[in-house]
Structure 1
Amino acid sequence: MAVHFLHTSDWHLGQFFYNHSRQYEHEQFLSWLLEQIQQKQPHALLIAGDIFDVINPASSAQKQLYQFLADAHALAPHMQTLMIAGNHDSGYRIEQVEPLLEKYNARTVGVVHKNDKGQIDLDRLLVPIYDQQKHIVAWCLALPFLRPAEITGFNEHTTNSQNAIVYLHQQLIAEAKKRKMDDQALILMSHAHMQGGETSDSERPIIIGNEEALSTALFDDCIDYVALGHLHKPQKVQHAHIRYSGSPIPLSFSEIQYKHQIVEVQIDPLKQDESRFQFEAIAIPRCIQLHKIRGELNEVMQKLKALPEGEIEQIDQREYVDIEYHTLTPPLPNLRQQFEEALPKNRYRLVRISRQYLSAENDNSTIAKICLEPPTPEKLFQQIWEKQGYSNDETVLNDFMSLMHEAQKSLEEQQIR
């Protein structure tokens, strides 16, 4: 029997977009997803990490997730919801609610644990997927975002994160092969940055030190499908069966052109040729549009006035506008007010204005760019480092990022206690 599942990731519930809540957009997506579940009745829903936007999500974001799980279970009681933690999630936090998740036929894998023998607990990472008759139709190899502190130090094969990642994949795939029957599929779900993956500017860097993006060579030929999370653009990675589903909504203005989707997958493991796979990308409707306006001041004003009219009553449903204007001179003090007045009334939210100074010799050459976007910790560090007169050293930045991840890890553990 073929296994039938939906692949999604990077929901980032609780995200604030330039201080504007995305709750309405997430509500619309989750309602749409429930319709897909009701219609398609899959064996499983796979959520490949970054369920929440921050490790300590607001109660409203947590409520969105748990209400969705309850509604999904009511519409498809046999469907399993399998989730892994991403780099934005607290793996410990999402594992804490296992008794609640069991009521909704849901399971989460947040961290890599040790068993009683001090070895990697492979049992927790191998999750069976059942059909309505309670027969196992597939095994899901669930790998959350792999933090070095959680995967190193098990044995001589895990002395650093690079060889630990290889060892973990080898051990997990070997164990899955032992359990797999001929009529069962193997699905690997992972939150990672793969070599060749196309990124956007909204993805938090997860490559630490001198580590590189992971190679698809980690995935044995026995793996029928790899459900990836982390990169927000839907894309294949070298092979048709290795895919990022992408995020359900644009998480930055760089993602305006992304075709947000979930992936519907059917695999018949008894077939040996390519006909065993069936993939369908199901487009997610975009409920709030994003507009990026660029150009000289006069050109920007014209583009703003040409935007579609028609008032939108609810502020949290209005469309987003990002302006980047090019100039040779300093801005006028009331420029933001002028931009606001040029926009059609009560339809848009002007969330970001940036200025690009152009040289007199060549209008296309940038002298300086000023951006009002809140800086990330790594950007703040770079600015302070450069102000002290030091050069932009990649090694120093990598060390800072390593400290950031260790601090994040320590904070998570303190919250759990």
Structure 2
Amino acid sequence: MAVHFLHTSDWHLGQFFHNHDREFEHTQFLDWLLKQIEEKQPNALLIAGDIFDVINPASSAQKQLYQFLATAHHLAPHMQTLMIAGNHDSGYRIEQVEPFLSKFNAKAVGVISKTSDNKLDLDRLLVPIYNPEQKIVAWCLALPYLRSAEITGLNEHTSNNQSAIAYLHQQLIAEARSRQEPDQALILMSHAHMQGGETSDSERPIVIGNEEALSTALFEDGIDYVALGHLHKPQKVGKEHIRYSGSPIPLSFSELNYKHQVVEVRIDPTQSNEQRFQYESLIIPRTVDLIRIRADLNELIEKVKALPPGEIEQLYARHFLEIEYTTTAPPPVDLRQQIEQALPPNRYRLLRISRIYQQVMDTDSQISKIDLAPPTPESLFSTLWKKMGYEPDDSVQRDFLQLLHEAQQDIDLQQP
């Protein structure tokens, strides 16, 4: 029996971008996704983590999610919505409302829990997917973002994070195989950084140098599809069936050229390998664009004036603009005012102006930014380190990020 599902991830509902909220863009995306659901009537919608942007999302972000689930259930009553927590989510928070979610045929797996005898509770991580006739067509192996405090120390096989992750995958896949019938597919959904995955600068760093990246060897050949979240670029990792769907909207300027999408997947376990899988990338329309101008200072104002005109009434619907310019001389003190006056009226939101200093005999460039975004812990640490007169040190940066990661874990575990 074939299973038909949609794979999406990294919604980051409630995100603020340079102090501008993204509610309008997320609403446009969710409305588009509802149309896909109504038209395609899939068996399941898989949301692979980072549903929210912060562990304590605003009520408006929560309302967006729950309104979406209610409308999706109305449009496709048989469709199951399966969600896992990402590293931006509070796993406990998204599980708290399970009785409410069940009314919309939805389920959230937020944390790895243990049984009374201190063993992994695998039953909670295995979710059957049904067709409209209520026959099981697939099993979803739902793995939220794996925090070491939840999975290490269970037994002699879980002495450190990497061994615990490997043990968890082995146990979960073995349990899924024991339940699987010959005409049922196995789908593994995970929020993780896989080796070989291409990152952007908007993903929260976990450990410097990609030391936390996992190997696709964790996924055995019997897994029909791996639905990944965490990296924002849509991409395959090693094999056709191991994929990141990517984020639905660009979350930083490093993502302005991404083709944001939802992956539509059909798997028929009764067919041969050539006919077993069907994949389609459903490209998400971009309602608010990210635009970057790079120019020499002498040409900058003319390039700004050449931007497409046309007023956009609502501020939240206007396009985001970043400017980077080069010059060998000091810029005029009223440069920002000149740029704002040159901009076509009521169409763009100017977020950042960056000056790139180019040395005549040096290929290295130094960038000075006027940025309205709030500082991050990483940027504050780096700034203070330099002010104290120390040279950049990867080992120190790695230790700081590890401490930051552990502090974030402690915060998450304390959430009710």
- TM-score range (shorter-chain normalised) is over 0.9
Distance in 1 between residues matched to 2:143 and 2:223, nearest whole Å: 14
- Matched residue, 1:92: 92
- Matched residue, 1:114: 114
Distance in 2 between residues matched to 1:321 and 1:286, nearest whole Å: 15
Distance in 2 between residues matched to 1:252 and 1:30, nearest whole Å: 19
Q: Alignment partner of 1:228: what SS?
A: strand
After TM superposition, give the deviation of residue 68 of structure 1 in Å.
0.2
Distance in 1 between residues matched to 2:100 and 2:177, nearest whole Å: 31
After TM superposition, give the deviation of residue 209 of structure 1 in Å.
8.8
- Give the alignment's TM-score, normalised by structure 1: 0.96
Distance in 1 between residues matched to 2:219 and 2:207, nearest whole Å: 19
Q: CA-atom RMSD, angstroms?
A: 1.5
**AA matched with 1:306:** A
Say if 1:209 and 1:402, in contact at 8 Å, map to a contact too: no
**Deviations, residues 279-313 of structure 1 (Å, cap 9, x unaligned):** 00010000011110011112221211111111111
Q: Alignment partner of 1:71: what SS?
A: helix
- Matched residue, 1:310: 310
Say if 1:151 and 1:164, in contact at 8 Å, map to a contact too: yes
- Matched residue, 1:412: 412
- Matched residue, 2:256: 256
Give the fraction of aligned pairs with identical amino acids, expressed as a percent. 69
Distance in 2 between residues matched to 1:66 and 1:350, nearest whole Å: 32
Between 1:19-28 and 1:321-330, the stretch displaced more is 321-330
After TM superposition, give the deviation of residue 404 of structure 1 in Å.
1.5
- Matched residue, 1:44: 44
- Matched residue, 1:11: 11
After TM superposition, give the deviation of residue 133 of structure 1 in Å.
1.4
Between 1:172-181 and 1:398-407, the stretch displaced more is 398-407
- Matched residue, 2:72: 72
Say if 2:352 and 2:369, in contact at 8 Å, map to a contact too: no
Say if 1:162 and 1:211, in contact at 8 Å, map to a contact too: no
Distance in 1 between residues matched to 2:389 and 2:211, nearest whole Å: 27
- Matched residue, 2:164: 164
After TM superposition, give the deviation of residue 399 of structure 1 in Å.
2.1
**Deviations, residues 153-173 of structure 1 (Å, cap 9, x unaligned):** 101111110111111100100
Give the 3 Å change call, closer, same or farther, for CA 312–273 of structure 1 in structure 2: same
Q: Matches of residues 14-413 of structure 1 in structure 2 within 5 Å? A: 14-207=14-207, 211-361=211-361, 365-372=364-371, 373-413=373-413
Between 1:206-215 and 1:27-36, the stretch displaced more is 206-215
**Deviations, residues 195-252 of structure 1 (Å, cap 9, x unaligned):** 1111111111123798341111000000000000011111111100000001100111
Distance in 2 between residues matched to 1:371 and 1:231, nearest whole Å: 27
Distance in 1 between residues matched to 2:97 and 2:403, nearest whole Å: 29
Distance in 2 between residues matched to 1:241 and 1:410, nearest whole Å: 34
Distance in 2 between residues matched to 1:343 and 1:210, nearest whole Å: 40
Say if 1:209 and 1:395, in contact at 8 Å, map to a contact too: no
Aligned length: 415
* Structure 2 unaligned spans of 5+: none
* Structure 1 unaligned spans of 5+: none
Distance in 1 between residues matched to 2:208 and 2:121, nearest whole Å: 25
- Give the alignment's TM-score, normalised by structure 2: 0.97
Q: Alignment partner of 1:124: what SS?
A: helix
Give the 3 Å change call, closer, same or farther, for CA 352–407 of structure 1 in structure 2: same
Say if 1:193 and 1:206, in contact at 8 Å, map to a contact too: no
Between 1:107-116 and 1:388-397, the stretch displaced more is 388-397
Q: Alignment partner of 1:415: what SS?
A: coil
Distance in 2 between residues matched to 1:301 and 1:365, nearest whole Å: 25
Distance in 2 between residues matched to 1:305 and 1:257, nearest whole Å: 23
**AA matched with 2:81:** T
Distance in 2 between residues matched to 1:234 and 1:367, nearest whole Å: 30
Distance in 1 between residues matched to 2:120 and 2:366, nearest whole Å: 53
Distance in 2 between residues matched to 1:52 and 1:187, nearest whole Å: 23
